[in-house]
């Protein structure tokens, strides 16, 4: 979900607004496949301004990936690579 979509309902209306009223149509939902590379996904997320994206396999949501989680993994790999190169 984009930041724009999350902020489209004023807070005072949260208790009277259904989830269905603010859902994106399935064909407009941005998602990742489990086999997509982390760098490719990070680039897509940055281009559309998303902080998190659902991961879909077999028509079902199997997880959520965040930009922060990708960056943490990349940082850890870089640190491990530096230690191995010593």
Q: How far apart are CA 58 and CA 53, in angstroms?
A: 16
Residues 15, 27 contacting (CB under 8 angstroms) = no
Show pLDDT as tens, one digit a residue, over the chain (86 residues).
444 444 578 899 999 999 888 888 878 889 999 999 999 999 999 999 999 999 999 989 999 999 999 999 989 988 887 777 75
In this predicted structure, what is the pLDDT of residue 27?
83
In this predicted structure, what is the pLDDT of residue 4?
47
- What are the tokens at 22? 């603010």
Residues 31, 53 contacting (CB under 8 angstroms) = yes
In this predicted structure, what is the pLDDT of residue 7?
52
- What are the tokens at 75? 């940082």
Among 47, 20, 18, 44, residue whose Cα is nearest residue 31: 44
In this predicted structure, what is the pLDDT of residue 86?
59
């Amino acid at each position: 979900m984009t930041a724009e979509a999350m902020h489209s309902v004023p807070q005072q209306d949260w208790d009277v607004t259904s989830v269905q009223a603010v859902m994106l149509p399935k064909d407009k939902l941005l998602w990742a496949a489990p086999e997509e590379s982390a760098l490719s996904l990070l680039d897509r997320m940055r281009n559309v301004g998303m902080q998190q994206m659902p991961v879909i396999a077999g028509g079902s949501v199997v997880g959520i990936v965040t930009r922060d989680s990708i960056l943490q993994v990349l940082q850890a790999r870089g640190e491990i690579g530096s230690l191995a190169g010593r």
